[in-house]
Amino acid sequence: MAFDYDLFVIGGGSGGVRAARIAASEGGAKVGLAEESRMGGTCVIRGCVPKKLMVFASGYRQTIADAGSYGWDASVGAFDWGRFTGRLHTELDRLEQIYRENLLKAGVEIHDCRATVADPHTVVLADGKTVTAKHILIAVGGHPVFPDDRSRALGISSNDIFHLEERPARLMIIGGGYIACEFAGIFTGLGTEVTQLYRGAQILRGFDEEARGLIAEGMRDHGVDLHLGTTIVEMEERPTGIYVKASNGHECTVDKVLFATGRDPNTKGLGLEEAGVQLGRRGEVIVDAYSQSNIPSIYAVGDVTDRIALTPVAIREGHAFADTVFGGNKRAMDHDLVASAVFTQPEYGSVGMTEEEARETHRIEVYCTSFRPMRTAFIGRPDRVLFKLVVDQESRKVLGCHIVADGAGELIQVAAVAIKMGATKEDFDRTVAVHPTISEELVTMRTPIRTA
């Protein structure tokens, strides 16, 4: 059977774009790609990139205050939301254009519309066209979810936050995951009065418990009004704003309520189940190690598979798919020891196992230190940093590394290389410290604080 395309990609985010480019430019495939929104996906348009720029913007108020304590004649004025967001969207437009140009250079045909799957080899485009493909790749990512209709009607999601016409003076955030905690720090830094409610006992579920506790303390020190073990029981729109009452009795009126209560894969209405593709409980595409679904011609990469929802992972999955199917190099994405960063204030970087995970399967030693760093201790700020290594007692391999500090995301990338290579605690010990730095603690912790 002759197909219109060797590969048709549904979704123009990081994973889909990488797969399309590699399949076309290196695999010689005829590739089509459909994107119903903007090229670049969640990361570029409504996620990593705009969020990180907001993190940068939010840090300057504290930096300028610190400058005064260090002897500079410095003061900070009001934050101009409109000036910042105007520049932000100009930058996102520029990045989106780069994504588009790179696809075209590789020979990919772009369809700027929604696409759905009709059968294992057929795609229906919203512009009325129907095309066939030998292989179909699903790379549509995920979307924020609201707990109920009331929250959807009165609240906003992380997708909406970048399009607000003005910075809210009072913001409530519901949730305790990384998105909720990152935006709590961002808006507090920009001068917004932030209240955060989370029904769990501690924020950042799934991360290392010691790190979670220190981050929660740091968020409160920076001005976030954080309430744990609580959730909304009443919410209504009033002339003065949105009135909220929490289950712990806390009451307040805010300008916006941000629900950061999870994300689900974007598979609804895509036609996958009708085509026979197996989906999981939350709508994720079930795939094997090579990103292939139970239908041999249909593959999926990125957040839509609900494996590890990180942009670099989606990119690697997309590249591995293209190499496997079109490059003659069958290979699976390695999901082990993937480092990550949470851009809270303080920042958190981690790779490998948490102490709690390691206790379940290994006999471990834990090396940990927490202290006030020189830069902020000098001016009397209460900020603390944390460095932690989880070590297997028998093999001596470092199973996990956790850093809470300014720049933790940068530091964990370097540590991840060593840990991915199988570094032992003694390898860390043999490394000479760089002094005076906070990161020298990674190679100077000699005695375990506990074993298990």
163 carries an active-site annotation? no
SS (H, E, C) the chain: CCCCEEEEEECCCHHHHHHHHHHHHCCCCCEEEECCCCCCHHHHHHCHHHHHHHHHHHHHHHHHHHHHHCCCCCCCCCCCHHHHHHHHHHHHHHHHHHHHHHHHHHCCEEECCCEEEEECCEEEECCCCEEEEEEEEECCCEEECCCCHHHHHHCECCCCHHHCCCCCCEEEEECCCHHHHHHHHHHHHCCCEEEEEECCCCCCCCCCHHHHHHHHHHHHHCCCEEEECCCEEEEEEECCEEEEEECCCCEEEECEEEECCCEEECCCCCCCCCCCCCECCCCCECCCCCCECCCCCEEECHHHHCCCCCHHHHHHHHHHHHHHHHCCCCCCCCCCCCCEEECCCCCEEEEECCHHHHHHHCCEEEEEEEECCHHHHCCCCCCCEEEEEEEECCCCEEEEEEEECCCHHHHHHHHHHHHHCCCEHHHHHHCCCCCCCCHHHHHCCCCCCEEC
Q: Active-site residue among 89, 111, 335, 435? A: 435
Active site residues: 435
